């Protein structure tokens, strides 16, 4: 290629690129009032966009659900809150964000309005507590449920129903092979199906180190064995997060990791999904919105059960996100936002909402309805799970607390520290963070 | 960051301007100014702004910013994460860049003589360098997956132990180094090869007359004469490796003690914890260290180059 | 040189081993791009194509090739506003324009430092290089604030300016090496012939600098093409590039669409590979940074 040809081809390419530029300008402006909602980029957000067409028909307000890739969703939202005005009117945020949003004056307080506009009795009390209220128990609302979510198990129904497996299990454990109710039963089943030589594994739990996976995976054990993140009144952490119950819970958690696929001590939502879809693992823990995909891929081979209990305590990590209205948008837009939120909570709207893949509700009436429970194979398990939800910290410094939890739990799982050492260190760090934030006196 | 003059003569610093100095003055500015303008406005101005931020309690979401003095800087000494991230980063840079240099230089030696198909092979070997790191990090997790990844299955077939590349706390960093080596060895091959090709054949002919052994030729001619360029490759790779973030993010996330590099820590503090002031202080410490190291290194390179040209002259 | 005892054979072994290490992951990427999702995560690794459908959970090394991964690129998947090719177009615009800008501005600057007496030239050159050491996270907040002020957020232009600034240091240093090697006598002759400085630069120096510019262009293009952090942070509407598109794939409730990622990466890297092949001849000479005297 000659010099000239090279130069001219580069210039040609540049010119072509320059010509493309203007075409990618703004969408044609419409006169209709437009409401912008930010959410992470995933199927439920597509459902919300579709659902909102009904709202547009009713009210004439156009709704645009702007979807941000998951890996940087949180960062994008709070960066945007740093602007004088936000690009969104409504943000659909994690339950953890409530404290930060309320405390920093980013979320509009909805307390007075929501009681009148929405029938709160239709919303599951635990969803109210974790997705709406801050501080907990104060009766002040900053959000409304959008995607109510929980973790739950998916299991290989065909393996559980295999007569040979049933017989072998009966012989060894003197008990029928059935979805477990307690963690002790769970351990037996995991042990029974764990056959690394055949590339079959007992279970995959949540242990990933990317963001909150390991903490969500540990919480059911923490609570079920009698531990807690802190005293709910005083925020005292010593003796709670590193108390006897917490340590026993962490030990039980680590004990189960011997039945995971190789690498199971660091496995997040997506890796668990692959571990189940490729047919290697008997019981996998994940969030419910992933299960429509599983049903689509695995059909009848997949069954579902609620996170097991220990003794009398069954505790389940909450997932999901709620609507909050930005304070950094015009009063006019805030009114539109409220209008949309109120509309969304209506039972007939919720009824349609749950027909979209991965979309779940906190509407008590629907949760109890036969139609909901039969719509998808995992729906009744989901409804049952809601009664046992609990959540991580939602104070403004939740991210630092989460980060300390990730690192210390990770070291316990990696056997760098003993459970007691790891939790002692965690308690110390949490104490420092909470003191620094003025929450713990 | 002004350097202490003299020695950095990479390039034939030919300040051999001819013609009327006055008439050329505006032209001189016209040539040089655009680049400096872009750099100052997009890189330096923000940097100065972030100096100010580093002395405040600035938060990601805005709100009342007030000065906190040197508090953020003193935090460095109390934050165990910072010390650990520094260790991890140094380890990563030393190992990744070290391996890339040795491998790249060795391969360049192998690729030096012409043979049939060399251009094709060389081009094929360069491809990993063109891959998007953020995506390749995610894609490599498919290869390295502990239970169904192709690497472990291959190792198993060969009767070798199957390792937990992505989850073993001792191996996570190794995996990130492995991917970095895969991506960036092509770069050191390229630069080493350029350095080797530039050694005049006449020197080798003279050595042949003197019946020098292969080792002697390598030790006395090849290595010293290609050293300046290889050194520069090391510098460029090291500065990039110091900023390593995309792969860490894809393999473990930014908050894994075993792999948290300085950039990952910065990200965690700035975007997750929202402490912009503190993160600015952290990044300043990184920058000062890097520039100090780089200026020392450039001096060393310049002296290497003097020696190389001395070799050539004899 | 030719008296290496046994080194010759060793050399081929070394080259072969490295080639396997280097090329196999790429080959695997290609294979993954024509697999179904089930085949890409099977517990027994599948790499032998067959024409028969395969049970997704059977233990076999065979798989039925499919172009679904490539087809999925034309779909507007969950939440995106456009198919993959739209984002590829964005990357092309941003990559090419920032590449052209870096090379032109860089060459002019290199020429200035090479031919004129500039006070403190070495300090300036070091200053230019030092901008490369900057951790991008150190400037992200101020850049963001600046971009908000000037309305450059969510624009192609914003990213073009940013990438140009990131690549300038490399461009200046690479080009300085090149321009230094072009004998000043050529221009002096042109000046005597009545050319102005500027036209001498354009007519005499630039054509001789083209190989260097081509090589510089490759490096600038690679880095602008693949950048993720700022593309993600500064954009969520217009000017979204392909690396961000891939990040968006991670919200898929079916899990990672490995074949789609494989197919997308494959198409993504092709233009750069082609460009590299075009300038291959100059590549080796291009990276000397002027350290070599001829």
Cβ of residue B300 closer than 8 Å to a chain C Cβ: no
> Å from B75 to nearest chain A CA?
13
Cβ distance of B274 and A399 shorter than 8 Å = yes
B 136-195 → C contacts, CB under 8 A: 136, 138-140, 142-143, 147-148, 150, 153-154, 182, 185-186, 190-191, 193-195
End-to-end CA distance of chain C: 22
Per-residue pLDDT band for C126 (boundaries 50, 70, 90) equals confident
Counting residues of chain C whose pLDDT is more than 90, the rounded percentage is 37
> Subunits that touch chain B (at least 3 Cβ pairs < 8 angstroms)?
A, C
Burial class (CB in 10 A: 0-12, 13-18, 19+), A30: exposed
- Residues C230, C136 contacting (CB under 8 angstroms): yes
Task: Give the mean pLDDT of A29-35.
Answer: 78
pLDDT of residue C128: 87
Measured over the CA atoms of residue B291, residue B296, residue B297 and residue B302, the dihedral's sign is: positive
Distance CA B211, CA B252 (A): 54
Distance CA A263, CA A109 (A): 44
Per-residue pLDDT band for A14 (boundaries 50, 70, 90) equals low
Number of neighbours of residue A182 by Cβ within 10 angstroms: 14
Cβ of residue B274 closer than 8 Å to a chain A Cβ: yes
Q: Which residue of A has its CA nearest to C144?
A: A79
Partners of residue C79 in chain A, C-beta under 8 Å:
41-42, 45-46, 67
pLDDT of residue A71: 85
Task: Give the mean pLDDT of C13-30.
Answer: 94
Cβ of residue B20 closer than 8 Å to a chain A Cβ: no
Task: Find where tokens 């729906």 sit.
Answer: A379
Say if residue A135 is preceded by a cis peptide, omega within 30 of 0: yes
pLDDT of residue C249: 85
**pLDDT tens digits, A225-237:** 999 999 988 999 9
Above 80 in pLDDT, residue C4? no
pLDDT of residue B295: 83
Which range has the worst mean pLDDT, A250-254, A313-317, B40-44? B40-44
Above 60 in pLDDT, residue C262? yes
Distance CA B105, CA B185 (A): 9
Above 60 in pLDDT, residue A5? no
pLDDT of residue A308: 97
Tell me the backbone φ, ψ of residue B68, rounded to 5 degrees: -125, 15
> Å from A174 to nearest chain B CA?
31
pLDDT of residue A8: 56
**pLDDT tens digits, A150-182:** 999 999 999 999 999 999 999 999 999 999 999
**pLDDT tens digits, C162-207:** 999 999 998 998 898 888 888 888 888 988 888 888 888 888 899 9
Lookup: tokens for C197: 């400085």
pLDDT of residue B232: 81
Number of neighbours of residue A297 by Cβ within 10 angstroms: 19
Query: Nearest-CA neighbor of B256 among A255, A97, A413?
Result: A413
- Residues A302, A157 contacting (CB under 8 angstroms): yes
User: Which residue has better confidence, A129 or B18?
Assistant: A129
| Beta strands per DSSP E along A276-348 | 281-287, 302-305, 316-325
Above 60 in pLDDT, residue A6? no
Distance CA A100, CA B71 (A): 23
Which range has the worst mean pLDDT, A71-75, A123-127, A327-331, C253-257? C253-257
Average pLDDT, chain A: 91
Task: Give the mean pLDDT of C241-261.
Answer: 86
Q: What angle do CA A168, A173, A179 make, to 5 degrees?
A: 85
Give kind and range of the element (H or E) at residue A144. Answer: strand A144-156
pLDDT of residue A18: 52
Q: C251-271 b/e with 16+ CB inside 10 Å = b?
A: bbbbbbbbbbbbbbbbbbbeb
Per-residue pLDDT band for A13 (boundaries 50, 70, 90) equals low
**pLDDT tens digits, B128-182:** 999 999 999 999 999 999 888 999 989 988 989 889 999 998 999 999 999 999 9
End-to-end CA distance of chain B: 36
Burial class (CB in 10 A: 0-12, 13-18, 19+), B160: exposed
pLDDT of residue B18: 44
- Which ranges of A379-418 would DSSP assign to H, the alpha helix? 379-386, 398-413
Cβ distance of B256 and A410 shorter than 8 Å = yes
Cβ distance of B146 and A201 shorter than 8 Å = no
Kindly report the pTM of this predicted structure: 0.90
Partners of residue C250 in chain A, C-beta under 8 Å:
69-71, 270
Partners of residue B147 in chain A, C-beta under 8 Å:
199, 201, 261-263, 275, 280
Regions of chain B short of the pLDDT cut 70: 1-24, 308-314
Cβ distance of C22 and B128 shorter than 8 Å = yes
pLDDT of residue C287: 63
pLDDT of residue A145: 96
Cβ distance of A275 and B164 shorter than 8 Å = no
pLDDT of residue B286: 82
> Subunits that touch chain C (at least 3 Cβ pairs < 8 angstroms)?
A, B
Cβ distance of C41 and A292 shorter than 8 Å = no
SS3 A302: strand
Task: Give the mean pLDDT of A45-66.
Answer: 94
Transcribe B205-253 into DSSP letters: HHHHHTT--HHHHIIIIIHHHHHHHHHHHHHHHHHHHHT--HHHHHHT-
- Residues A397, A208 contacting (CB under 8 angstroms): no
C 29-68 → B contacts, CB under 8 A: 29, 32, 40-45, 47
Per-residue pLDDT band for C5 (boundaries 50, 70, 90) equals low
Task: Give the mean pLDDT of A424-428.
Answer: 97
- Residues B103, C18 contacting (CB under 8 angstroms): yes
In angstroms, what CA-CA distances link C70 with C102, C121, C247, C256, C264? 33, 51, 17, 15, 7
Partners of residue A263 in chain B, C-beta under 8 Å:
145-147, 164, 166-167
- Residues B235, B305 contacting (CB under 8 angstroms): no
Task: Give the mean pLDDT of C31-55.
Answer: 88
Query: Nearest-CA neighbor of A358 among A290, A265, A408?
Result: A290
pLDDT of residue B7: 32
Q: Which residue of C has its CA nearest to A65?
A: C79
Alpha carbons within 13 A on the beta-carbon side of B311:
26
- Which ranges of chain C would DSSP assign to H, the alpha helix? 7-33, 37-40, 68-72, 84-115, 121-130, 136-150, 156-181, 184-192, 197-200, 206-226, 229-234, 242-248, 258-278, 280-286
Counting residues of chain A whose pLDDT is more than 90, the rounded percentage is 82
- Residues A48, C78 contacting (CB under 8 angstroms): no
> Subunits that touch chain A (at least 3 Cβ pairs < 8 angstroms)?
B, C
Which range has the worst mean pLDDT, A385-399, C21-35, C246-260, C273-287? C273-287
pLDDT of residue A314: 96
Above 70 in pLDDT, residue A23? no
Cβ of residue C76 closer than 8 Å to a chain B Cβ: no
**pLDDT tens digits, C210-235:** 888 988 999 999 999 999 989 988 87
> Å from B82 to nearest chain C CA?
15
Distance CA A94, CA C198 (A): 59
Question: Which among C44, C122, C289 is the nearest to B232, CB-wise?
Answer: C289
């Amino acid at each position: 290629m000659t010099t000239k040809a090279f130069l001219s081809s580069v210039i040609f390419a540049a010119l072509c690129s320059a010509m493309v530029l203007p075409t990618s300008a703004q969408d044609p402006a419409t006169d209709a009032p437009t409401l912008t909602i930010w959410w992470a980029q995933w199927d439920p957000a597509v459902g919300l966009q579709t659902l909102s067409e009904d709202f547009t028909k009713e009210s004439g307000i156009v709704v645009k659900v702007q979807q941000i890739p998951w890996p940087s969703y949180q960062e994008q939202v709070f960066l945007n809150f740093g602007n004088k005005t936000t690009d969104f009117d409504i943000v659909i945020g994690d339950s953890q964000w409530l404290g930060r949003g309320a405390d920093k004056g980013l979320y509009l307080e909805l307390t007075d309005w929501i009681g009148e506009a929405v029938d709160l009795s239709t919303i599951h009390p635990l969803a109210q507590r974790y997705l709406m209220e801050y501080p907990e128990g104060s009766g002040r609302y900053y959000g409304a449920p959008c995607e109510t979510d929980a973790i739950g198990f998916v299991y290989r129904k065909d393996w559980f129903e295999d007569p040979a497996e049933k017989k072998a299990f009966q012989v060894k454990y003197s008990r029928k092979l059935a979805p477990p109710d307690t963690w002790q039963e769970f351990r037996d089943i995991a042990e029974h199906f764990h056959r690394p030589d055949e590339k079959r594994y007992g279970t995959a739990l949540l242990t990933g180190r990317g963001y909150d996976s390991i903490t969500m995976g540990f919480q059911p054990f923490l609570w079920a064995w009698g531990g807690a993140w802190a005293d709910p009144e005083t925020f005292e952490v010593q003796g709670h997060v590193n108390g006897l119950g917490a340590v026993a819970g962490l030990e039980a958690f680590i004990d189960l990791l011997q039945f995971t696929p190789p690498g199971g001590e660091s496995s997040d939502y997506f890796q668990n999904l692959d571990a189940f879809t490729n047919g290697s693992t008997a019981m996998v823990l994940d969030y419910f919105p992933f299960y429509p995909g599983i049903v689509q891929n695995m059909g009848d081979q997949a069954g579902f059960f609620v996170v097991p209990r220990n003794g009398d305590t069954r505790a389940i990590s909450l997932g999901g996100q709620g609507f909050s209205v930005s304070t950094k948008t015009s009063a006019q837009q805030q009114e539109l936002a409220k209008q949309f939120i109120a509309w969304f909570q209506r039972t007939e709207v919720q009824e349609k909402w749950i027909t979209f893949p991965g979309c779940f509700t906190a509407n008590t009436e629907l949760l109890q309805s036969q139609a909901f429970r039969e719509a998808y194979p995992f729906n009744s398990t989901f409804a049952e799970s809601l009664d046992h939800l609990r959540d991580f910290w939602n104070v403004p410094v939740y991210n630092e607390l989460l980060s300390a939890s990730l690192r210390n739990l990770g070291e316990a799982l990696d056997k760098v520290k003993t459970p007691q050492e790891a939790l002692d260190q965690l308690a110390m760090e949490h104490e420092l963070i909470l003191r620094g934030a003025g929450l713990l006196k | 960051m002004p350097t202490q003059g003299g020695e950095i003569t990479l390039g034939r610093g030919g300040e051999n301007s001819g013609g009327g100095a006055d008439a050329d003055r505006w032209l001189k500015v016209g040539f040089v100014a655009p680049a400096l303008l872009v750099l100052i406005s997009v890189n330096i101005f923000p940097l100065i702004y972030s100096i100010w931020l580093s002395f405040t309690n600035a938060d990601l979401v805005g709100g009342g910013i007030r000065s906190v003095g040197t508090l953020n800087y003193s935090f460095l000494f109390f934050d165990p994460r910072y010390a650990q991230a520094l260790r991890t980063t140094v380890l990563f840079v030393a190992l990744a860049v070290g391996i890339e240099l040795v491998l790249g230089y060795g391969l360049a030696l192998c690729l030096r003589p012409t043979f049939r198909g060399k251009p094709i092979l060389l081009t094929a070997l360069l491809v990993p360098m063109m891959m998007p790191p953020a995506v390749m990090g995610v894609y490599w997790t498919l290869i390295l997956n502990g239970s169904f990844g192709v690497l472990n299955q291959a190792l198993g077939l060969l009767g070798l132990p199957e390792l937990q590349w992505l989850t073993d706390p001792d191996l996570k960093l190794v995996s990130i180094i492995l991917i970095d080596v895969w991506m960036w060895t092509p770069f050191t091959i390229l630069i080493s090869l350029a350095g080797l090709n530039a050694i005049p054949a006449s020197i080798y002919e003279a050595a042949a007359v003197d019946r020098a052994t292969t080792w002697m030729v390598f030790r006395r001619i090849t290595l010293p004469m290609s050293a300046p360029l290889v050194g520069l490759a090391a510098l460029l790779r090291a500065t990039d490796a110091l900023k390593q973030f995309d792969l860490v993010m894809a393999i473990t996330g930014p908050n894994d003690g075993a792999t948290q590099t300085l950039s990952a820590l910065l990200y965690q503090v700035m975007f997750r914890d929202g402490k912009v002031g503190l993160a600015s202080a952290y990044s300043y410490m990184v920058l000062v260290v890097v520039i100090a190291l780089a200026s020392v290194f450039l001096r060393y390179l310049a002296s290497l180059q003097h020696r190389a040209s001395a070799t050539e002259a004899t | 040189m030719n008296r290496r005892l046994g080194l010759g054979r060793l050399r081929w072994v070394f080259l072969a081993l490295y080639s396997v290490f280097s090329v196999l992951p790429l080959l695997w990427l290609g294979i993954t791009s024509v697999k179904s999702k089930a085949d890409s995560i099977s517990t027994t690794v599948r790499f032998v194509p067959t024409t028969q459908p395969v049970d997704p959970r059977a233990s076999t090394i065979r798989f039925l090739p499919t172009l679904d991964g490539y087809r999925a690129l034309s779909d507007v998947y969950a939440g995106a506003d456009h198919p993959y090719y739209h984002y590829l177009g964005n990357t092309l615009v941003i990559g090419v324009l920032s590449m052209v800008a870096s090379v032109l501005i860089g060459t002019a600057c290199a020429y200035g430092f090479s031919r004129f007496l500039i006070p403190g030239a070495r300090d300036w050159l070091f200053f230019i290089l030092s901008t490369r050491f900057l951790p991008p996270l150190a400037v992200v907040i101020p850049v963001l604030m600046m971009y908000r002020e000037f309305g450059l957020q969510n624009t192609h232009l914003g990213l073009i300016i940013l990438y140009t600034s990131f690549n300038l240091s490399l461009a200046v240093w690479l080009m300085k090496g090149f321009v230094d090697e072009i004998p000043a006598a050529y221009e002096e002759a042109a000046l005597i012939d009545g050319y102005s400085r500027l036209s001498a630069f354009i007519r005499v120096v630039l054509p001789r600098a083209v190989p260097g510019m081509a090589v510089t262009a490759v490096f600038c293009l690679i880095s602008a093409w693949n950048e993720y952090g700022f593309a993600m942070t500064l954009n969520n509407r217009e000017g979204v590039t392909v690396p961000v598109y891939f990040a968006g794939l991670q919200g898929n409730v079916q899990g990672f669409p490995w074949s789609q990622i494989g197919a997308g990466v494959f198409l993504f890297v092709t233009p750069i590979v082609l460009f590299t092949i075009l300038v291959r001849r100059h590549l080796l000479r291009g990276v000397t940074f002027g350290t070599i005297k001829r």
